[in-house]
Amino acid sequence: MFSGAQISLYPMADDFVGVILGALGALDPYRDRLRIETDDISTLLVGPPEVLFPAMRDLFVAAARSGKHCVLSAAISRGCPGEPDDPICSSDALGGPAGPLGPRKDAAIAAVRGAAATGQPAAAQFSLYVMGTDDHMDEIYGCIDFLKQSGVYERSKHFCTKLRGDAGAIFSALDEAFCRFGPGAGHVTLDVTVSANSPSAV
C-alpha cells in the first residue's frame, strides 16, 4: 500500500524561511525511512504511518519552539488506487481486515492516552475521508466517538473535529484516526491543520 503526506509549514513571521530551515533537522532521524520531495507549495513525505506521524510531530514541535505562531497543514493519504505500491511504505499498521468498531475505538483511545508528551501545547482540526465504500459515515462517526474519549477532543465543527492538547497526543490521535478507521486496505485520507502559539487561542 502507498502512504504518505503532502505537508506545509507556515510560520507567521518575517523570518519564516529561517524558522522552517531551523526546524528541518527534526526530520533527520526519519530520513532513511521516508522519501522526501519539496517544491514551492509543499513537501512530500512517503512512508509508513509509524514514521510519518512522529516525523510530522517532531517537525511541528521544532518549529513551534521558535515561539512564533506556526501552522502545519497536511494532506495525508493511504491506499489511493492511483498510486503505485512502494516497499518504503510497508507497515504492520495497515492492510489487515478492519474488524468491529468497538475494539478499534478502544485501541485508539489507549494509544492516545499512552502517547509520550512533548511539552508543546497545540490545537488541531482534521477531517477523515473514507472512499470506495457506501458505509463511510459509520467509520467517520466511529472515529469521532473515539476522539471524544481520547483526552484531546475540543469540539465538533462543520466538516471537521477540533482537538487541543499536547502535540504528542494530538499527532497520536491523527495516527490512530488514519490507521484504524476505514478498511485496512482502503483509500483513506486526512485533511489536517495543527496550530501553535496563536494569539487568538483561548
Looking at the Cβ atoms of 81 and 119, the one nearer to its own copies is 81
With contact defined as beta carbons under 8 Å apart, do 3 and 91 qualify?
yes
Q: Is residue 168 a contact partner of residue 137, using CB atoms and an 8 Å limit?
A: no
Minimum CB separation of residue 147 from its own copies in Å reads: 14
Residue 75 CB, nearest approach to its own copies (Å):
5
Q: Torsion over CA of 80, 86, 92 and 94, rounded to 10 degrees?
A: 0
Smallest distance from its own copies to CB 169, Å? 17
Interface residue list for its own copies (CB under 8 A): 2, 4-6, 8, 10-14, 16-17, 39-42, 44, 46, 69, 71, 73, 75, 77, 80-83, 123-125, 127, 129-134, 136-137, 140-141, 157-160, 162, 187, 189, 191, 193, 195, 198-202
Continuous segment of H or E residues that includes residue 72: strand 70-78
Measured distance CA(161)–CA(120) in Å, rounded: 20
116/201 with CB nearer its own copies: 201
Rounded to a whole number of angstroms, the minimum distance from the CB of residue 124 to its own copies is 8
**Judged by CB, which is closer to its own copies: 111, or 163?**
163
**Separation CA 176–CA 162 (nearest Å):** 15
Which helix H or strand E contains 101, and what residues bound it?
helix 101-113
